[in-house]
Amino acid sequence: MRMGEAIAFYVISACILGFGVLVISTKDTVHSVLFLVLDFLFVAALYVLLGAQFLAAIQILVYAGGIVVLYLFVVMLVNLKRPPEAHADPHRKTKLGFGLAAAVLAELALLAVRSSDLPVRPVVEAAAAPVTGNTEVVGWMLYTNYLIPFEIASMLLLVGMIGAIVLAKREL
């Protein structure tokens, strides 16, 4: 059975790489999004092969379902054959944007320097995680040790939704 698993792993990995190349090399944007769906489905198959069924289900629901629908919405909404705008927006505050981006990068660098000085501790202690299943461990880790990255990801999704609404809004 080990040989069969190895062959399946290499075949699925080759499909993931092949569809990844097709995503960036095809000329038609709709075909590119469809190749991305196939790529996400093969990544889910790889998760199943590695014994992470919960991650495979989340991969299919979130990425192959939700994110690709968002990509298709953007591809259909934006007219790619339209010429670029002739002028820049006079209300755009580029200096403020660059300043805020520099501040965020400085904070991240400060966090990286400060966190490298902290002593390394185990991620999950035996008494802190009383659950035993795959899904329970993921949930326990998500809401304890990885709460801040989880909240940051939710904020990024909120910003993406607001951006999609702003793009979809028509000028009256």
Q: What is the CATH number of the domain that holds 10?
A: 1.20.120.1200
107 domain residue, yes or no: no
In terms of domains, do 68 and 136 share one? no
CA-wise closest residue to 32 among 41, 44, 19 = 19
Q: Where a domain ends, among 63, 79, 95? A: 79
**Of 79, 112, 139, which residue is a domain's last?**
79
Q: Which of 14, 44, 79 is the last residue of a domain?
A: 79
Reply yes or no on whether the pLDDT at 15 is more than 60: yes
Instruction: In whole angstroms, give the CA distance from residue 131 to residue 110.
Output: 35
**Structural domains of the chain, count:** 2
Size of the chain in residues? 172
Q: Return the residue matching tokens 């505050």.
A: 93
Look up the domain containing 21 and give its range. Answer: 1-79
In a domain, 120, yes or no: no
- The pLDDT of residue 172 is 43
Residue 51 lies in a domain: yes
Residue 96 in domain: no
5 and 71, same domain (yes or no): yes
The reply to whether 113 falls in a domain is: no
Question: Which long-range contacts link 53-62 to residues 24+ away (Cβ below 8 Å)?
Answer: 53/134, 54/134, 54/135, 54/138, 55/138
C-alpha 154/C-alpha 158 separation (Å) is: 6
The 10 Å Cβ neighbour count of residue 141 is 16
pLDDT tens figures, 136-164:
777 888 888 888 888 888 888 888 888 87
- How much is the CA Rg of the chain, to the nearest whole Å? 21
Question: What mean pLDDT comes out for the span 93-100?
Answer: 85
The pLDDT-based confidence of 43 (bands split at 50, 70, 90) is very high
Q: What is the 3-state secondary structure (H, E, C) of 45-96?
A: HHHHHCCCHHHHHHHHHHHHHHHHHHHHHHHHHCCCCCCCCCCCCCCCCHHH
Average pLDDT of every residue of the chain? 80
